[in-house]
Amino acid sequence: MTEVEKNQERFDHKTDAKIDYQAEKGLSEELIRKISEHKDEPEWMLKKRLQAFRHYQKRPMPDWGPDLSELDVEDIVPFMVAEGGQTDDWEEVPEEIRDTFDKLGIPEAEKEALSGVGAQYESQVVYQNMKEEWEEKGVIFCDMDKAVQEHEDLVKDYFMNKCVPPQDNKFAALHGALWSGGSFVYVPEDVEVEIPVQAYFRMNSKGMGQFEHTLIIAEKGATIHYIEGCSAPQYTRSNLHSGCVEVFVKEDAHVQYSTVQNWSKNTYNLNTKRAKVDSNGTMEWVSGSMGSKITMLYPSSHLNGEGAKANHITISYAGEDQDIDTGAKVVHNAPNTSSTIESKSISQENGRTNYRGLVRIAEGAENSKTSIECDALMFDKEATSDTEPYIEAKEDDVEIAHEATVGKIGDEEIHYLQSRGIEEEEAKEMIVRGFIEPIAKELPLEYAVELNRLIQLEMEGSLG
């Protein structure tokens, strides 16, 4: 087995874990009540779920962007829990599930370089652990279901209330009704978590939906780096991933959110991610999106305090029959705020990538600065790449820069590398690695390596 085949097997590996509870298909209030009851949730959370469901019923499917007409939400299994519950001892995780995460390198990463690790399988976190040195400083890193029970006041105050309300969009509403699992991170004032925390989300069953919720609160002067990984094996039936991320960056705080998503090519990846940033706070989004049938993902930063900053770095890869629609949204609501957006996309065969961005500078946000750079690389005549930026400035005293380039891998570059004894396929991989290097270097080392491996897997057998 070649190294590429070994890497692919890590993601395509399937297990037959025993299921403790599985909800029926078909969305209804009765289904939502059963999910909430199974979780033993307080009445206020059930109420929020039902309100979100009513918003979902009222909203039409998006008629812009990628074609979602083949997605049948009623045919998705919305909630599934494997036997075994949650533990902080890896050896207590059921063997079938442990085998899946072992192949993905979890929790080896925890032992080597992380402050804490959470692992979600289907709809529930099965493993969660945080190093004592951070717990002693008041840092909380647990799954969202546990947070609802043990940190109710915080969750009730922030959950889909101040950042992403259910009425934001149809899939945010669906998420609010069906959410399960995910991460809760709380960092007290002036605490710097020097080593990243990581969560990994795995959909193993065919035809299911995963709706994890991530809530991060970094108090004044706090620092945290959260890393997220996602994957699913290939099936013939559609899967749906509709997560939600809410980040609160208080005054002088710094949050980095890094993610590499490698969903299977039957997965609809429809997420809502947003941060609210106070004075002199910094929010950084670093993401790689690939593998899914359709992705619609636009991390958003609302710069609400003077001096707030946001940096968005994204790379997307679309192969045969894939439509990867990604971008960024930044809203400058205060003076002296700044943002940068750097987007790189790669498309091959009949794949489509699209940058869809929004930058809005509100009245009164004088001396704000934004810089947007979008670069696209295409392999084939059938491949497409589009750029759809939207910039709205209601203040005159601002600086706005936008640059976009689209190109194809040229014969001259390939010939030059071949003249140095490099095979054609390897030459093309080298060009791609050079293209994404400015973004890959912003990822933690193990995720930069992972991103390059995934690009190699996507390109294997498709070039030449």
Cα separations in angstroms, 383 against 140, 180, 213, 380: 45, 36, 34, 5
Q: What is the dihedral of CA 17, 23, 27, 33, to 10 degrees?
A: -130
E strand or H helix at 95: helix 95-103
Answer whether residue 192 is part of any domain: yes
pLDDT at 448 over 50: yes
pLDDT at 77 over 60: yes
Q: In sequence order, which ranges of 339-423 are alpha helices (DSSP H)?
A: 411-418
Kindly report, residue by residue over 201-218, the tens digit of the pLDDT: 666 655 668 898 999 999
Q: Average per-residue pLDDT in the chain?
A: 81
**Number of structural domains in the chain:** 1
Which amino acid appears at position 82 of this protein? A
DSSP state of 25: S
pLDDT of residue 444: 60
pLDDT of residue 122: 53
pLDDT band at 56 (very low <50, low <70, confident <90, very high): very high
pLDDT of residue 88: 55
Average pLDDT rounded to a whole number, residues 107-115: 50
Residue 50, strand partner residues: none
423 CB neighbour count, 10 Å cutoff: 11
Answer whether residue 270 is part of any domain: yes
Which is more confidently placed, 92 or 143? 143
Which is more confidently placed, 230 or 340? 340
Kindly report, residue by residue over 274-283, the tens digit of the pLDDT: 999 999 999 9
Half-sphere exposure of 29 (CA within 13 A, CB side): 8
Structural domain boundaries, residue 357: 3-459
Rounded to an integer, what distance in angstroms lies between the CA atom of residue 269 and that of residue 239? 9
Rounded to an integer, what distance in angstroms lies between the CA atom of residue 392 and that of residue 395? 9
pLDDT of residue 14: 46
Say if residue 299 is preceded by a cis peptide, omega within 30 of 0: no
Which is more confidently placed, 81 or 361? 361
Under 8 Å between Cβ of 178 and 209: yes
Among 119-133, 134-148, 365-379, the range scoring the smallest mean pLDDT is 119-133
Nearest Cα residue to 217 out of 287, 144, 266, 269? 144
Rounded to an integer, what distance in angstroms lies between the CA atom of residue 263 and that of residue 186? 28
Which is more confidently placed, 30 or 106? 30
Among 293-302, 318-327, 420-429, the range scoring the smallest mean pLDDT is 420-429
Answer whether residue 201 is part of any domain: yes
Kindly report, residue by residue over 226-273, the tens digit of the pLDDT: 887 655 544 445 788 899 999 999 999 999 998 877 667 788 999 999
* φ, ψ (nearest 5 deg) of residue 419: -65, -15
Report percent pLDDT > 90 for the chain.
46
Kindly report, residue by residue over 87-106, the tens digit of the pLDDT: 555 565 555 555 655 555 55
Kindly report, residue by residue over 382-408, the tens digit of the pLDDT: 888 888 999 999 999 999 999 888 777
Answer whether residue 105 is part of any domain: yes
Max CA distance (Å), the chain: 69
Cα separations in angstroms, 254 against 6, 171, 206, 245, 307: 37, 28, 38, 16, 13
Looking up tokens 């005293």 gives: 397
Kindly report, residue by residue over 151-206, the tens digit of the pLDDT: 999 999 999 999 999 999 999 999 999 998 888 999 999 999 887 777 776 666 55
Average pLDDT rounded to a whole number, residues 302-329: 93
Query: Is residue 236 exposed (0-12), middle (13-18) or buried (19+ Cβ within 10 Å)?
Result: exposed
pLDDT at 21 over 90: no
Tokens of 310: 């946001």
Estimate to the nearest angstrom the gap between the alpha carbon of 282 and the chain centroid: 19
Which is more confidently placed, 154 or 417? 154
DSSP state of 208: B
pLDDT of residue 239: 84
Answer whether residue 385 is part of any domain: yes
Answer whether residue 464 is part of any domain: no
421 CB neighbour count, 10 Å cutoff: 6
pLDDT at 121 over 60: no
Answer whether residue 11 is part of any domain: yes
Answer whether residue 196 is part of any domain: yes
